[in-house]
Amino acid sequence: MSAAIEVQGATVRYGEVLALDDVSVSVRPGRVCGLLGMNGSGKSTLFKTVLGLATPDRGRVRVLGMKSAAARRKGLLGYVPQSEQVDWAFPVRVRDVVMMGRYGHMGHRRRPRPDDREAVEHALARTDLTDLADRQIGALSGGQRKRAFVARAIAQGADVLLLDEPFAGVDKRSEATITDLLLQLRRAGHTLLVSTHDLSQVPALCDEALLLQGRVIAHGPPEQVLEPDVLLEAFGVPTSKGATWTR
């Protein structure tokens, strides 16, 4: 079976700073992969690399067998950002945010068609946001905001989704809703790469886990990656002398 996400020998530098060092990752379709590591371990850089927003100095990236830019143009690759990356003061409604996921399906004038509106309403219902659809995005709670961006990805119809800390700062209701949604997406055959700092969530949500510290420390079943000795290498032992790692 071809990989949904394939990263081969990716090395990424920002000037003199080494962000990713010869990272190779393969995630099969229909799998949830938890992306783990302390701040500065390269998680955000790996996301940018898979999305095609960071160009490796060496190595290659393929999403569903094609370059990242092509997968994005076809609407096959979606991204759910961290809350702090969003301007919550921007005067846009929840429904408008979700409709942004349909832009790749519209013409250059971006006029929604009936199937676009249907996809948006379906995504709002799945994320329990129908009653909040006409509210300004910044007026929502932290958990509701996260659900709005998950809804955007659902409306997009992407086969591969990258979610950056989807549980950070959310209430228990939103956490349960998002977890259930991600498991539904997996059952529907979607591939998910989910970064999280909450290691306790990983066994129940993820089929596999990837532990980074600038390089791949471990990648495999959660119970193996979460072994104390493995975690100690990433969280408790410095990397090679002289190396500088960045997020």
pLDDT digits (tens, 9 = 90+) for 81-97: 886 567 777 889 999 99
Q: In angstroms, rounded to a whole number, what is the distance separating the alpha carbons of residues 114 and 71?
A: 24
**Residue 63 belongs to some domain of the structure:** no
**Residue 132 belongs to some domain of the structure:** yes
Alpha carbon 143 to its chain's center:
16
* Packing angle, helices 114-126 and 142-156, rounded to 10: 140
Query: By percentage, how much of the chain surpasses pLDDT 90?
Result: 68
Residue 179's φ and ψ, nearest 5 degrees, are: -60, -45
Secondary element (H or E) of residue 220: strand 216-220
Residue range of the domain that includes 203: 30-49+75-235
Q: In angstroms, rounded to a whole number, what is the distance separating the alpha carbons of residues 21 and 56?
A: 10
Q: Return the sign of the alpha-carbon dihedral for residues 30, 31, 32, 33.
A: negative
Q: Supply the CATH number for residue 199's domain.
A: 3.40.50.300
Alpha carbon 85 to its chain's center:
13
Residue 96's φ and ψ, nearest 5 degrees, are: -65, -40
**Residue 164 belongs to some domain of the structure:** yes
Alpha carbon 81 to its chain's center:
7
pLDDT at 176: 86
**Residue 6 belongs to some domain of the structure:** no
Residue 237 has pLDDT above 80, yes or no: no
Residues with Cβ within 8 Å of residue 37, at least 6 apart in sequence: 43, 211, 212, 213, 217, 234
Which has the closest alpha carbon to 38: 212, 192, 164? 212
Residue 9 has pLDDT above 70, yes or no: yes
| pLDDT-derived band at 194, boundaries 50, 70, 90 | very high
Mean pLDDT of 55-76: 94
Residue 245 DSSP code? -
Based on its alpha-carbon atoms, the radius of gyration of the chain, rounded to whole angstroms, reads 18
Among the residue ranges 25-39, 128-142, 165-179, 182-196, the one predicted with the least confidence is 165-179
Residue 172 has pLDDT above 80, yes or no: yes
Question: Exposed, middle or buried, 241 (CB in 10 Å: 0-12/13-18/19+)?
Answer: exposed
Question: Exposed, middle or buried, 93 (CB in 10 Å: 0-12/13-18/19+)?
Answer: middle
User: What is the overall mean pLDDT for the chain?
Assistant: 89
**Residue 188 belongs to some domain of the structure:** yes
Mean pLDDT of 13-28: 96
How many distinct structural domains can be found in the chain? 1
Q: In angstroms, rounded to a whole number, what is the distance separating the alpha carbons of residues 148 and 137?
A: 8
Contact 211, 219 (CB under 8 A): yes
Q: Encode pLDDT of 126-167 as tens digits.
A: 999 999 999 999 999 888 888 898 899 899 989 999 999 998
**Residue 11 belongs to some domain of the structure:** no
Pairwise pLDDT comparison (104 vs 123), residue with the higher score: 123
**Residue 66 belongs to some domain of the structure:** no
- In one-letter notation, the amino acid at residue 21 is D
